[in-house]
């Protein structure tokens, strides 16, 4: 077996569960799954850590389970970061290539690197930090839509970027919890991007697609067009809201409400209102029988609220009419029964459930929307590691352009 340093590890600290995934690089450039571990998340509230010790314990349990399954110790990981504090913004930066505004010369890889770094030098509040930056396109003089300008000739180079920023304190609490569990953070990766990495096809990124990653406390929205991220945001509704609605509406404990939500998600939407199910009551009261129709009356208003907010965000992005690839719902909440049909009707766009792919030996558990972020973390982490290795070997300028969407 390979040395422990060659393994790629993803660590997803969710508000409901914490998961660790260990993968081994194989000869074809892909990753093979060798270990998966999970634990119930503790110490989280509304998508942020509120009790560091509890969150730390969840990380330790998930890592230990993954280590036992993989048979190797985990020393470092690519870690997901998300939550209500995440914000996306588009920025641009321009530079003159020659000694005078009219002088022309060939664009070099160093020019691309410098302008990419300079564009990230935007002024941010003291409590914000950049967690992700993606090139959207370059502009060279009057020509736009350029993906890799290296080798082209011009006088003025401009780049458009999409930046994802996070609360510094919320971000550092995630890093601290992982570090105190004995794990070095290779890099933090935006969870919405990770889910997109695992679920979207290249054609969907190119034609335009909106990915909605429905987690426990929040949902992340990432909009792609022209092969790049154009918009990102957080919707303050997640699976926990559906569970709480069921618990209140049917006066049942939270664990029972969660079970009922899962049962609802497994129903055929065409006959989801047929039949009955037994509901445990709070305290010493006897169990009751309710119809699926009653359960639907509780779930559907929250689902409608979620999709309507998505519609508002897509309108704000200005890309709603440019999503040739439609909408992809993923995350554990994406499996909620009837949600895909509701998204299609409300947004007037094709919709599908996004299940992660791209790893070898994923087994029966991992090809599930609930693991989209986790799978995406190792996929994206592997790409970052490969990129840096090739850059250090002297081929970086070209491969950096390719990685960022160049041809």
Residue 94 falls inside a structural domain: yes
Strand, coil or helix: what is 23? strand
Q: How many domains does the chain have?
A: 1
Residue 391's pLDDT is 64
Residue 404's pLDDT is 45
Q: For the domain that residue 95 is a member of, what is the CATH number?
A: 3.30.1490.110
Round to whole Å and give the CA distance between 12 and 9. 10
Residue 140 falls inside a structural domain: yes
- 58-77 pLDDT per residue, tens: 999 999 999 999 999 999 99
Residue 4's pLDDT is 57
Residue 61 falls inside a structural domain: no
Per-residue tokens: 215: 């987690």
Round to whole Å and give the CA distance between 189 and 194. 7
Residue 232 falls inside a structural domain: no
Alpha helices in 228-291 (DSSP H): 239-250, 254-265
Residue 369 falls inside a structural domain: no
CA distances (Å), origin 13, targets 84, 88, 348: 14, 21, 33
Cβ count near 96 (within 10 Å)? 12
Average confidence (pLDDT) over 137-152: 94
Q: Do the beta carbons of residue 194 and residue 373 sit within 8 Å?
A: yes
Residue 123 falls inside a structural domain: yes
Residue 394's pLDDT is 54
Query: 319: which residues sit within 8 A by CB, 6+ positions away?
Result: 208, 210, 223, 225, 230, 231
Residue 357's pLDDT is 95
Write the DSSP assignment of 215-226 as a string of letters: -SS-EEEEEEET
Mean pLDDT of the chain: 90
Beta strands 48-49 and 219-225, pairing class: unpaired
Residue 129 falls inside a structural domain: yes
- 76-86 pLDDT per residue, tens: 999 999 999 99
Cα radius of gyration (the chain): 23
Residue 403's pLDDT is 46
Round to whole Å and give the CA distance between 231 and 273. 37
- 296-339 pLDDT per residue, tens: 899 999 999 999 999 999 999 999 999 999 999 999 999 998 89
**pTM listed for this prediction:** 0.90
Residue 389 falls inside a structural domain: no
Range of the domain at 154: 87-167
């Amino acid at each position: 077996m390979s040395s422990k340093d060659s393994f790629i590890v993803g660590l997803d600290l969710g508000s409901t569960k914490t998961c660790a995934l260990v993968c081994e690089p194989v000869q074809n450039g892909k990753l093979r799954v060798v270990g998966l571990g999970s634990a119930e998340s503790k110490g989280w509230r509304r998508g942020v850590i509120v009790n560091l010790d509890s969150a730390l314990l969840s990380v330790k349990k998930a890592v230990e389970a993954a280590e036992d399954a993989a048979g190797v110790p985990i020393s470092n990981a690519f870690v997901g970061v998300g939550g209500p504090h995440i914000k996306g913004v588009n920025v641009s930066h321009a530079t003159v290539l020659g000694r005078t505004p009219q002088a022309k010369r060939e664009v070099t890889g160093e020019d691309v690197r410098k302008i990419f770094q300079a564009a990230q030098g935007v002024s941010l509040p003291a409590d914000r930090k950049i967690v992700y930056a993606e090139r959207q396109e370059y502009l060279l003089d009057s020509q736009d839509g350029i993906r890799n300008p290296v080798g082209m000739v011009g006088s003025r180079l401009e780049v458009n970027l999409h930046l994802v920023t996070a609360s510094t304190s919320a971000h550092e609490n995630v890093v601290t919890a992982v570090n105190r569990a004995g794990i070095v953070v290779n890099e933090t990766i935006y969870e919405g991007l990770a889910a997109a990495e695992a679920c979207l096809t290249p054609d969907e990124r190119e034609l335009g697609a909106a990915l909605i990653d429905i987690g426990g406390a929040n949902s992340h929205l990432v909009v792609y067009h022209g092969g790049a991220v154009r918009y990102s945001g957080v919707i303050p509704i997640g699976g926990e809201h559906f569970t709480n609605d069921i618990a209140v509406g049917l006066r049942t404990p939270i664990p029972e409400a969660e079970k009922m939500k899962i049962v609802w998600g497994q129903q055929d939407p065409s006959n989801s209102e047929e039949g009955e199910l037994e509901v445990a009551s709070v305290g010493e009261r006897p169990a009751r029988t309710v119809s699926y129709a009653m359960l639907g009356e509780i779930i559907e208003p929250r689902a409608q609220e979620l999709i309507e907010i998505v519609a508002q965000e897509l309108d704000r992005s200005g890309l709603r009419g440019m999503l040739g690839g439609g909408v992809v719902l993923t995350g554990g909440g994406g499996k909620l029964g009837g949600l895909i049909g509701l998204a299609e009707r409300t947004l007037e766009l094709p919709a599908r459930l996004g299940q992660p792919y791209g790893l070898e030996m994923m087994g029966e558990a991992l090809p599930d929307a609930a693991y989209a972020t986790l799978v995406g973390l190792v996929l994206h982490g592997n790409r970052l590691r490969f990129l840096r290795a090739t850059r250090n070997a002297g081929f970086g300028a070209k491969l950096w352009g390719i990685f960022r969407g160049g041809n």
